[in-house]
Structure 1
Amino acid sequence: MIQLKRYNPLTMLLDLWGLAKNAFFLVIFLFVLKSGSESTFIKYGRIAFYLFVGITVSSIILKWFTRKYKVDSSSFYMYKGLFNKFEQTVPFTKIHNVQRRTTLFHRIFGGTSITFETGTDTAVKFDVISRKEANRIEIHVKRMTLDKATTDQADSDEMGQPHTDEKIVKLDSARTIHFKPTRKDVLKASFTSLSFLILIPLVTSFYSKINDIVNVEDKAEGFLASIMNSWWVITILVVILIIASITFGIVRAFLKYGKYEISSDHERIYITKGVVDESAFTIEKDKVQAIEITQSLMKRLLGLAEIKLISAGSLGEDALDTNSLYPFLPVGRAYEMISEILPSYEVTQTMERLPKKSLWIRLLKPSWIWIIATAALLYFKPPIINHTHSWWILSAGLLIFIIVSRFLDYMNTRYILNGKFMQFKTGSLQTELFVSKREKVIEVKVTRNKFQQLLGLASIGTINRAKPVHHTGIKDVPVELADSFYTWYAGRTKEIKIE
């Protein structure tokens, strides 16, 4: 019988560290700045703080004592609860993604965190675990999953098939590295992501918290006034702020993308990133439900793109970052990488455009945002450059922006049904190209309002398995496409695989 195990005791220390970070400013206020205060509010605040800390620490310890797990040849088993017992079973066959994260805390104690994600809300997560144990569990899951393809190890030997361990070694040796960013790529990422602008809100937020406690503005009023009256001091401070912001952006980009690596073998895709805070993400190629290529306005100007993998599994708190192959790939390299990593997917760059009548229905559609904003401007009539009757400029500017945005959306929208693949491209300032297989689409729909019926148009949409469920679609396509869309989807019955 497999013995139950407790989670790593460092899990308690990690929770206590989180508690300490959240309570830092409160401790400074209650016990440092107000150390000599006899205020009733401060006294009761300290009592409430002691109670909160005591209850939280007790719950952290109790949670560790009441949580256990075990791993056998087919599943994870998790147990928790003191009076109300709760048991959860997660078969290895339901695991879609494996995600690792090694923060500074983990590095200090030689550990890591690992999460086995499924296609539902269920996930097997170890917040703190030794790297040796994490490797052992991950290899065990991979071994048992591969071993499921054979009925018995002895039968595999008789048939001349390789052992499961040999398969794992073969897969690891066959791993191909597709991308590692150069210094130029990291520098480009720091400016494209505008990460150098993050320093300003960070400093502002920190100053606001300190000012709420210490009231810096009153104490430094004379000093600030002398600075504001000296133009050369202001110039030096601005230059220092610009240099600090650029340096901060470059350092932040290096820490995030400096050790980025995209690799794959015959069955899985591997993404690793981070210098201090390391993350690793593994996904089976068969579990990729769709591909999304996004381009912001700046990325389009610079010829860059971001490839995102739509997965059936939940990707945790870092989903937006973890499922991205790399946010700043050259467009040509992005298309090449898709064919390298996922050869079963086809991306067609020649696509159909919307008919001209689709533009008119978009331009003539009422904008409730503009109507409500104009009504508010008409009522309040805010002055613009000291002219109280110039509020209409804001209304006209908003209307022009909406019209231009709709026109760009019309120009950028594309679609094509290419054999068993579908491609939708949408967006105005930012565009998204969505590519999926017919067998990965779990639902389609076609809708038509009165105006679309008069003009022979329709709206089509699809749903893919993801966490959350991924919806995509195109509005105002020809009705002929909507009819063929149903016929195209009907061919799915010959392709789907029952898991």
Structure 2
Amino acid sequence: MAYGWGRTFIRYRNFEVTSDHHRIFIKKGLFHQTEFSIPKEKVEAIILNTKFLQKILGIVEVRIVSTAEEDDEEMKTANILFPFIHKNKALLLISEILPTFKVETDMVNLPRSAIFVKLVRTSYIWIAAGAIFYFWPRLWYVPLAFLVLTHTSQLLSGLSNGYKIRGPFIQLQSGSFSTKLFITTRMKIEELKVTESVLQRKFGLASLEIFTRSKSVQVSKISDIPKDVAISCYQWYGKNGGNKGSCIE
């Protein structure tokens, strides 16, 4: 904990974000100060990451997916727009710094059938837990804790995951104890993929994957959304015209 606190303090001390009409300027560092400049037109998407403790405190980490990323370690951290910031303040500043992106707060939750599918998908855990209990009965608390943790994670995933499409914007929220909110526009999507498993097909569900450009391809996925919504996303993406790589499986 001390190492993590010290490393974070040294890296993000004197952190400052400014912008003009064309570029974002980021300055950070205690002993070794670094400065970055990212063209706004190269920002492909915005990601809001929230870990479990941060979720309790209402804090998020804001990242940007940019085609201006480089390979060295310092430049990899340039895509962190805000390392720690209150969620409400983050939404306000994002609209000021990147007015071409819009974050919606009223998202559509997954259907209740998605929670059942997520629990069924992890039913193999019961077999592993039963084997541990049979061969090592003294360790009964290990499979019990594992089952509680796994099913709680799937339940939170079904309750917290969601999606939203409004105009040219799309955003997906996935995760359980930690969540990831992905926001991009139709013109920034390189590829969109809709898939469905046998189990999803029985409940009218599907998975949606969005690929955006960066130094390495950024993939964002949400599972177990209604199939008709996934098809609507596919058709919505097709309105962009001339996109390549879209598919339905």
Q: Does 1:479 align with 2:227?
A: yes
RMSD: 2.2
Q: Provide the C-alpha distance between the structure 1 equivalents of 2:103 and 2:211, rounded to a whole number of angstroms.
A: 19
Greater relative contact order, per chain length (Cα 8 Å cut-off, separation 6+): 2
Q: Does 1:314 align with 2:49?
A: no
Gap regions ≥5 residues in structure 1: 1-193, 200-248, 382-388
Q: Provide the C-alpha distance between the structure 2 equivalents of 1:374 and 1:314, rounded to a whole number of angstroms.
A: 47
Q: Provide the C-alpha distance between the structure 1 equivalents of 2:32 and 2:65, rounded to a whole number of angstroms.
A: 24
The one-letter code of the counterpart of 2:81 is L
Shift of 1:377: 6.3
Is the Cα–Cα contact under 8 Å of residues 268 and 283 in structure 1 kept in the other structure? yes
Q: Provide the C-alpha distance between the structure 1 equivalents of 2:144 and 2:229, rounded to a whole number of angstroms.
A: 36
Alignment equivalent of 1:394, drawn from 114, 124, 142: 142
- 2:26 aligns with 271
- 1:182 aligns with none
SS in 1 for 2:240: helix
Alignment equivalent of 1:261, drawn from 12, 16, 35: 16
SS in 1 for 2:38: strand
Superposed CA offset, 1:186-219 (max 9, x none) = xxxxxxxx4x2x28xxxxxxxxxxxxxxxxxxxx
The one-letter code of the counterpart of 2:175 is G
Q: Does 1:346 align with 2:102?
A: yes
Q: Provide the C-alpha distance between the structure 1 equivalents of 2:45 and 2:127, rounded to a whole number of angstroms.
A: 37
In proportion to residue count, which structure has more strand?
2
Bigger Cα Rg:
1
- 1:281 aligns with 36
Is the Cα–Cα contact under 8 Å of residues 25 and 35 in structure 2 kept in the other structure? yes
1:7-156 alignment to 2 at 5 Å?
A: none
1:257 to 1:366, Cα distance in 2 relative to 1, 3 A: closer
Q: Provide the C-alpha distance between the structure 2 equivalents of 1:292 and 1:270, rounded to a whole number of angstroms.
A: 18
Q: Does 1:452 align with 2:200?
A: yes
Shift of 1:375: 3.6
* Residue range with higher mean Cα deviation, 325-334 or 432-441: 325-334
Q: Provide the C-alpha distance between the structure 1 equivalents of 2:216 and 2:130, rounded to a whole number of angstroms.
A: 35
- Superposed structure 1 runs of 4+ greater than 6 Å apart: none
Alignment equivalent of 2:190, drawn from 431, 442, 461: 442
Shift of 1:252: 4.8
Shift of 1:495: 9.9
- 1:491 aligns with 239
- 1:468 aligns with 216
1:371 to 1:285, Cα distance in 2 relative to 1, 3 A: farther
The one-letter code of the counterpart of 2:143 is S
Alignment equivalent of 1:405, drawn from 132, 137, 153: 153
SS in 2 for 1:277: coil
The one-letter code of the counterpart of 1:326 is F
1:444 to 1:254, Cα distance in 2 relative to 1, 3 A: closer
The one-letter code of the counterpart of 2:101 is Y
Is the Cα–Cα contact under 8 Å of residues 69 and 79 in structure 2 kept in the other structure? no
1:346 to 1:494, Cα distance in 2 relative to 1, 3 A: farther
1:342 to 1:327, Cα distance in 2 relative to 1, 3 A: same
Q: Provide the C-alpha distance between the structure 2 equivalents of 1:281 and 1:456, rounded to a whole number of angstroms.
A: 46
The one-letter code of the counterpart of 2:110 is L
SS in 2 for 1:272: strand
Q: Does 1:331 align with 2:79?
A: no
Is the Cα–Cα contact under 8 Å of residues 267 and 286 in structure 1 kept in the other structure? yes
SS in 2 for 1:255: helix
Matched positions, count: 243
Is the Cα–Cα contact under 8 Å of residues 370 and 398 in structure 1 kept in the other structure? no
The one-letter code of the counterpart of 2:204 is G
Superposed CA offset, 1:146-187 (max 9, x none) = xxxxxxxxxxxxxxxxxxxxxxxxxxxxxxxxxxxxxxxxxx
In proportion to residue count, which structure has more helix?
1
Gap regions ≥5 residues in structure 2: 245-249
Identity %: 33
The one-letter code of the counterpart of 2:231 is D
Q: Provide the C-alpha distance between the structure 2 equivalents of 1:372 and 1:253, rounded to a whole number of angstroms.
A: 39
* Residue range with higher mean Cα deviation, 332-341 or 253-262: 253-262
Shift of 1:314: 3.3
1:287 to 1:374, Cα distance in 2 relative to 1, 3 A: farther
1:396 to 1:319, Cα distance in 2 relative to 1, 3 A: farther
The one-letter code of the counterpart of 1:458 is A
Shift of 1:412: 0.8
